[in-house]
């Protein structure tokens, strides 16, 4: 039995545009998904108690034939199970053990579908735990690469390497196309997260931006402009110039909003944080619903968000310098 864990992340800058080759800077946070893998004779048995479909907790045998005993639409079940199935396929491939069976337990403290990268953390931890159980130790870079293949497959062929690289390596990272690197010397940034209790469908939101970009030249320009914001932000990263960082986060949110991926509750949390004099605030991840990230070293944004209608939870997120690790 091997247990591995991997962190979630917030995007300081650059989500969505990173799918089209612009740079992005995600930062790993101290919230994790833990996966325990035990080799069994055959098949795949998954216990994912955090995964609630219409109020049911799901347990199922991922052998391609049986399905959860719940009355929900097949596509929902497939979407929910796709990450673990594909991660285990990667682990079998990496360990050259195509027939290895697994019992998998998943649990974590990252809200699902909320822009904090729970999918990447799940896939990274699952690949490490399952290969570890088969006696194979993959380098973090290889886990990142295999986890990217999984997100790419599950998100219908549209994904960047950002979430999976960040989760595997930890810390603040910079991703531009296939060029992935860790950023050294980044101190803990004063991140405050607001969570509306909702979720967005990453695949559908990414597809929406792609369609806008195909239809309108100015939407393509908006994606390019996000890249410009990231490049500008990089020049002050690692300094204590939170004023400029915050201003650029605000700009980044405006551009994401123009691309149609914000929502009323995300906007109202962003404005609550700004009204409380946070340096800046933006949605994080795919959007549609879920989380915003604000930059504020005081308790003002935290307190304001606590009293913001539509904000269900608010917490500080510490930068996690550890990526994937065995527990």
- Would you call 169 helix, strand, or coil by DSSP? helix
Q: Among this protein's residues, is 163 annotated catalytic? A: yes
In the complex with ligand PMV, which residue's Cβ is closer, 162 or 304?
A: 162
- Residue from 269, 272, 226, 275 nearest 251 by CA: 226
- Choose among Mg ion, ligand PMV, ligand ADP, none what residue 19 binds, the Cβ cut-off being 5 to 8 Å by kind: ligand PMV
For the beta carbon of residue 157, count every other beta carbon within 10 angstroms.
Answer: 10
Residue pair 53/69 in contact by the 8 Å Cβ criterion: no
In the chain, where does DSSP find H-type helix? 74-94, 118-133, 140-154, 162-169, 202-215, 217-234, 242-258, 264-275, 300-306
- Choose among ligand ADP, Mg ion, ligand PMV, none what residue 15 binds, the Cβ cut-off being 5 to 8 Å by kind: ligand PMV
Residue whose pair of structure tokens reads 């991997």 in the numeric block = 6
Question: What residues from 144 to 163 belong to the interface with ligand PMV (CB under 6 A)?
Answer: 159-160, 162-163
- Choose among ligand PMV, ligand ADP, Mg ion, none what residue 16 binds, the Cβ cut-off being 5 to 8 Å by kind: ligand PMV
CA dist., res. 210 & res. 104, Å (int): 34
Binding mask 100-139 for ligand PMV (x = CB under 6 A): ---------------xxx-x--------------------
Q: Which helix (H) or strand (E) holds 97?
A: none
- Choose among ligand ADP, Mg ion, ligand PMV, none what residue 50 binds, the Cβ cut-off being 5 to 8 Å by kind: ligand ADP
Residues 33, 116, 29, 46, Cα dihedral to 10°: 0
Phi, psi dihedrals of residue 242, rounded to the nearest 5°: -65, -25
Looking at 78-86, 201-209, 227-235, 313-321, which segment touches Mg ion (CB under 5 A)? 201-209
**Applying CB under 5 A, does 160 fall inside the site for Mg ion?**
no
Question: What residues from 84 to 123 belong to the interface with ligand ADP (CB under 6 A)?
Answer: 106-108, 112-119, 122
In the complex with Mg ion, which residue's Cβ is closer, 86 or 250?
A: 86
Residue nearest ligand PMV, Cβ-based: 285
- Residue 291 pairs in a beta bridge with 195
Residue pair 294/308 in contact by the 8 Å Cβ criterion: no
Residue pair 272/308 in contact by the 8 Å Cβ criterion: yes
**Applying CB under 6 A, does 278 fall inside the site for ligand PMV?**
no
In the complex with ligand PMV, which residue's Cβ is closer, 166 or 276?
A: 166
**Applying CB under 6 A, does 16 fall inside the site for ligand PMV?**
yes
Q: Which chain residues interact with ligand PMV by CB under 6 A?
A: 15-16, 18-19, 115-117, 119, 159-160, 162-163, 202, 206, 285-286
What are the residue numbers of the active site?
A: 163
Report the binding-site residues for ATP: 111-121
């Amino acid at each position: 039995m091997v247990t591995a864990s991997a962190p979630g992340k917030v995007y300081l800058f650059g989500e969505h545009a990173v799918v089209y080759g612009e740079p992005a800077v995600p930062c790993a946070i101290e919230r994790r998904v833990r996966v325990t893998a035990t080799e069994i004779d055959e098949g795949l048995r998954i216990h994912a108690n955090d995964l609630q479909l219409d109020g049911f907790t799901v347990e199922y045998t991922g052998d391609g034939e049986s399905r959860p005993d719940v009355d929900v639409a097949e596509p929902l079940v497939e979407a929910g199970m796709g990450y673990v199935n594909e991660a285990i396929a990667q682990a079998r491939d990496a360990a050259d053990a195509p027939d290895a069976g697994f019992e998998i337990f998943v649990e974590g403290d990252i809200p699902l579908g909320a822009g904090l990268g729970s999918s990447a953390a799940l896939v990274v931890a699952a690949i490490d735990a399952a290969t570890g159980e088969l006696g194979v130790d993959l380098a973090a870079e290889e886990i990142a690469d295999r986890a990217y293949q999984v997100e790419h497959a599950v998100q219908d062929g549209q994904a960047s390497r950002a979430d999976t690289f960040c989760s595997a390596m930890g810390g603040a990272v910079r991703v531009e196309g296939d060029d992935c690197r860790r950023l050294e010397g980044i101190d803990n940034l004063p991140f405050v997260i607001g969570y509306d209790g909702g979720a967005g469908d990453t695949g559908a939101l990414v597809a929406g931006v792609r369609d806008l970009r195909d239809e309108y030249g100015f939407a393509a320009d908006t994606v390019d402009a996000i890249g410009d914001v990231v490049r500008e932000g990089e020049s002050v990263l690692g300094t204590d110039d939170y004023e400029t960082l915050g201003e650029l986060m605000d700009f980044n949110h405006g551009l994401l909003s123009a691309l149609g991926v914000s929502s009323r509750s995300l906007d109202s949390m962003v404005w609550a944080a700004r009204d409380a004099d946070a340096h800046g605030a933006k949605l994080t991840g795919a959007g549609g619903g879920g989380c915003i990230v604000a930059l504020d070293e005081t308790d003002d944004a935290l307190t304001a968000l606590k009293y913001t209608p539509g904000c269900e939870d608010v917490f500080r997120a510490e930068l996690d310098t550890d990526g994937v690790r065995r527990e």
